[in-house]
Amino acid sequence: MKRIIGYLKPYIPYFILAFILIAIRVSSELSLPNLMSEIVDQGIASGDMAYIWRTGGMMLALAFISTAAIVLMDYFGAKIATGFSRDVRKSVFHKVQSFSGVELGKFGASSLITRTINDITQLQNFLIMFTRIIIMCPMYMLGSIFLAFSKDVTMAVIFLSLVPFLLAIIILVSRKTIPLSVTIQKRVDKINLIIREKLSGNRVIRAFHKERYEEKRFDEANLDLTNVMIKLQKISSILMPAMVIVLNAGTIAVVWVGASKIGQGALEVGDMMAVIQYIMHIMMSLMMLSMVFIMYPRAAASAERVAEILNTTPVIVDAEEQKEPTASRGRVEFRNVSFRYEDSDEAALENISFVAEPGETTAIIGSTGSGKSTLIQLIPRMFDVSEGQVLVDGVDVKDYTQKDLRAKIGFVPQKAVLFSGTVASNIRWGKEDATEEELVRAAEVAQAMDFISKKEKGFSERIAQGGTNVSGGQKQRLAIARAIVKQPEIYIFDDSFSALDFKTDANLRKALAEQTKESTVIIVAQRVSTIMNADRILVLDEGKLVGCGKHRELFDSCEVYREIVLSQLTKEEMA
C-alpha cells in the first residue's frame, strides 16, 4: 500500500493547487446562504432595491468564481489521476518483464493483465474521486457546521446529534462491502482467463465442438461476477435512503425548533433558511462521501493486487559481481544438476552432468516429459537449478548478468513464437541492426528463403499477431533464422525441426553445420535421423541421464536409446 501511495509524490504540487481551488470553491459557495439571508432579512424587510441588486450581484459573482474553481480543480484532478496510473502501469510492466517462469507461473498471465489494466484503472477512478470528494466534502461539512453554529447554536446542536447515526450507517455498510470488493477483482481475473483461453484455443474449441462447453464456462464466470456485483450494489443502495431519512428527520427538527424561535422573535427567517442550506450542504457532502465508502474497498483491494506485483522480487536476479569467462567461447557444462519445478514434488532433472564443447553438436533425445526442454532452459537461466551448477564458458550462469548470458545464446524454443510485424522485423529480433544481406543469409540457412521469396512482398510480408498467417513449419524456420542472424556462441534448438519434412530437415542441418563450425550446438530432437551424426548424444529418461555417447556406442550399450532407434529406423538406415 505504502508503495502505491509513493507514486503520488510527484503530484503533490497538483494536490496543493487542487486544495487551494477547492478551498476557493467551498468558501464562495458557503458565503451564498449568508448573503441570501441578508437579502431576506434586510433587503426585502426594508424594501431597499439597490441593496438587493448589489448583494444579488455579489452572489452571482461568487457563483462564477466557484464554477471556474471547480473546472480548474477537475483539470488538476485528472492530471493527477491519469499521470499516477501511467506511472504505476509503467512500473508494473517493467517489473513483469523481469519475472522468470516462477513468478509468471505464480500470478498467471490473465491475472497479470487484469492487474495491469483493470486494477490500475480502479485506482485512477478512485483518485479522481479523491480530489473531487474526499478533499472537498470535509471542507464543506466543517465550514457548514461552523457557520450553522454562528447562526444559531440550538439548531446546530440538533443537527450535530445526527452525526453518530450517519457514521453508524456508513460503518455497517462498508463492513459488508469490503470483502465483496475483493471478490469482484478475483472474478474479473477468472473471466479474463476464460476469454484468453477461448481466444488462443479457438481452433481447438471448434475442432472438438466445445463451443457449448466454453460458453457455459463463460456464462458461469460471468454470472458469478454479476451476482457479487448485484450483492454489492444491493448493500450499497441501503446507504443513500438511510442517510436521506436521517437527514430529513434532522431538517424537520430544525424547522420545528426554528419556527417556534421565529414565533418568539428570537430568530430571523433568513437565518433559518441559511441554516437549512448549510444542512443541505452537509447532506450532499455526506452522500458523496458515502460513495467513497463504496469505492474505497475496491480501490484498496486493487492497490493490494498491484502492490503484490511490485513487491515481488524475481528469484532470478543478476549477480552483484560478474565473473570473467575462463573457458573457451561457447563451452556449456552441467555439473551434477538437479531441478525441481516449484509446484511439483518430483525432480524434473536428477544429477545431470555433461559438457558441450564449441564446434561440436550435442543432441538430446528422450521420450516426451523426460525433461529435455527443462534441461536446456537452464542454460539461458529461465529457471535456476535446485542443485549443482550450470556453467557457460567456465562461469556459473548465476555469475553473469542475464543480458550478457543471453547475448551468448541463440535459443529456438519448442513452440516457435512470432510477433506481429513483418518477416524482417521478426528475424531482426536476433540482431537489431542486421543488414539485408545478413537477413537473406540467415533465411537461407534456416531454409526459409524459398517460402519468403514466394511471398509477394518478400521480407516485408506482414506477420499477424502470434504468427497465425504462416504455417507451423514456416514459423519454426523463421524462429530458427532469428537465432542464426544473432550468430551466437551457443545455439539451442528445442525440437525445432519437428515440423519440417525430412528433406528440409536434412538441408537445414547441412547448412547449419557450415554456419556453426565454431559454435556450440545443442539440439533436442525426436527423430533419430536428426541427431545420428551428432558428436555427443545425451539420452534422457524420466529426468535421468541414462546414456551419453555417439550413435553407435549408445546403440550397443544403452537400452533406452536402442528402443527409440528401433522404433524409428529401418535396418539399412541403422547401419
Quote the least distance from Cβ 493 to ligand ADP, whole Å.
12
Let me know: does 482 contact 474? Beta carbons within 8 Å: no
- Name the grid cell of 257: 425548533
Select 66 or 373, whichever has its Cβ closest to Mg ion: 373
43 is in the binding site of which of Mg ion, ligand ADP, none (Cβ under 5 to 8 A by kind)?
none
97 is in the binding site of which of Mg ion, ligand ADP, none (Cβ under 5 to 8 A by kind)?
none
* Alpha carbon distances (Å) from 35 to 62, 187, 263, 334: 10, 52, 23, 86
Select 158 or 560, whichever has its Cβ closest to ligand ADP: 560
Strand order in the sheet with 536-541: 395-396, 387-392, 332-339, 349-356, 544-549, 536-541, 361-366, 520-524, 490-494, 409-412
Select 66 or 374, whichever has its Cβ closest to ligand ADP: 374
Select 489 or 495, whichever has its Cβ closest to ligand ADP: 495
Quote the least distance from Cβ 108 to ligand ADP, whole Å.
12
Quote the least distance from Cβ 414 to Mg ion, whole Å.
5
CA 135 to chain centre: 30
Quote the least distance from Cβ 378 to Mg ion, whole Å.
13
Closest CA to 66 of 9, 21, 120, 98: 21
Quote the least distance from Cβ 467 to ligand ADP, whole Å.
21
Q: SS3 for 194-240, per residue?
A: HHHHHHHCHHHHHHCCCHHHHHHHHHHHHHHHHHHHHHHHHHHHHHH
91 is in the binding site of which of ligand ADP, Mg ion, none (Cβ under 5 to 8 A by kind)?
none
CB-based burial of residue 121 (10 Å sphere; 0-12 exposed, 13-18 middle, 19+ buried)? middle
366 is in the binding site of which of ligand ADP, Mg ion, none (Cβ under 5 to 8 A by kind)?
ligand ADP
348 is in the binding site of which of ligand ADP, Mg ion, none (Cβ under 5 to 8 A by kind)?
ligand ADP
- Name the grid cell of 11: 503530484
Strands (E), 265-308: none
Quote the least distance from Cβ 477 to ligand ADP, whole Å.
20
Select 110 or 373, whichever has its Cβ closest to ligand ADP: 373
Which parts of this chain interact with ligand ADP (CB under 6 A)? 105, 341, 343-344, 348, 366, 368-374
Quote the least distance from Cβ 366 to Mg ion, whole Å.
9
Q: Which residue is nearest to Mg ion (CB)?
A: 373
* Beta bridge mates, 537: 363, 549
451 is in the binding site of which of Mg ion, ligand ADP, none (Cβ under 5 to 8 A by kind)?
none
CB-based burial of residue 351 (10 Å sphere; 0-12 exposed, 13-18 middle, 19+ buried)? middle
Asked if 122 is part of the footprint of Mg ion (rule: CB under 5 A), the reply reads no
Let me know: does 365 contact 495? Beta carbons within 8 Å: no
Burial 209-243 (b: 16+ CB within 10 A, else e): eeeeebeebbeebeebbeebeeebeebbeebeebb
Crossing angle (nearest 10°) for helices 12-38 and 49-97: 160
Quote the least distance from Cβ 496 to ligand ADP, whole Å.
12
Select 290 or 370, whichever has its Cβ closest to Mg ion: 370
Q: SS3 for 541-574, per residue?
A: ECCEEEEEECHHHHHHHCHHHHHHHHHHCCHHHH
Site for Mg ion in 328-387 (CB under 5 A): 373
Closest CA to 11 of 92, 103, 83: 83
Distance CA 44, CA 37 (A): 10
Select 124 or 373, whichever has its Cβ closest to ligand ADP: 373
370 is in the binding site of which of ligand ADP, Mg ion, none (Cβ under 5 to 8 A by kind)?
ligand ADP
Let me know: does 405 contact 465? Beta carbons within 8 Å: no
Site for Mg ion in 407-426 (CB under 5 A): 414
Give the DSSP H/E element, type plus range, for residue 363: strand 361-366
Select 360 or 542, whichever has its Cβ closest to ligand ADP: 542
| Number of residues counted as binding Mg ion (CB under 5 A) | 2
Could you give the 3-state DSSP secondary structure of residue 409?
Answer: strand
Select 27 or 312, whichever has its Cβ closest to ligand ADP: 312
Quote the least distance from Cβ 343 to ligand ADP, whole Å.
6
Distance CA 491, CA 332 (A): 11
Could you give the 3-state DSSP secondary structure of residue 385?
Answer: coil
CB under 8 A, 24+ apart: contacts of 454-457: 455/423, 457/422
374 is in the binding site of which of Mg ion, ligand ADP, none (Cβ under 5 to 8 A by kind)?
ligand ADP
344 is in the binding site of which of ligand ADP, Mg ion, none (Cβ under 5 to 8 A by kind)?
ligand ADP
190 is in the binding site of which of Mg ion, ligand ADP, none (Cβ under 5 to 8 A by kind)?
none
* Alpha carbon distances (Å) from 400 to 216, 269, 403, 490, 553: 49, 82, 8, 15, 36
Quote the least distance from Cβ 372 to ligand ADP, whole Å.
3
Quote the least distance from Cβ 122 to Mg ion, whole Å.
39
Total residues belonging to the chain: 575
Query: Phi, psi (5° rounding) for residue 549?
Result: 165, -165
Quote the least distance from Cβ 568 to ligand ADP, whole Å.
16
Select 134 or 417, whichever has its Cβ closest to Mg ion: 417
Select 373 or 519, whichever has its Cβ closest to Mg ion: 373
Give residues with Cβ within 8 angstroms of 251, minimum separation 6: 276, 279
343 is in the binding site of which of Mg ion, ligand ADP, none (Cβ under 5 to 8 A by kind)?
ligand ADP
Select 143 or 366, whichever has its Cβ closest to ligand ADP: 366
Select 370 or 402, whichever has its Cβ closest to ligand ADP: 370
Quote the least distance from Cβ 502 to ligand ADP, whole Å.
21
341 is in the binding site of which of Mg ion, ligand ADP, none (Cβ under 5 to 8 A by kind)?
ligand ADP
Select 264 or 344, whichever has its Cβ closest to ligand ADP: 344
Quote the least distance from Cβ 552 to ligand ADP, whole Å.
24
Binding site for Mg ion (CB under 5 A): 373, 414
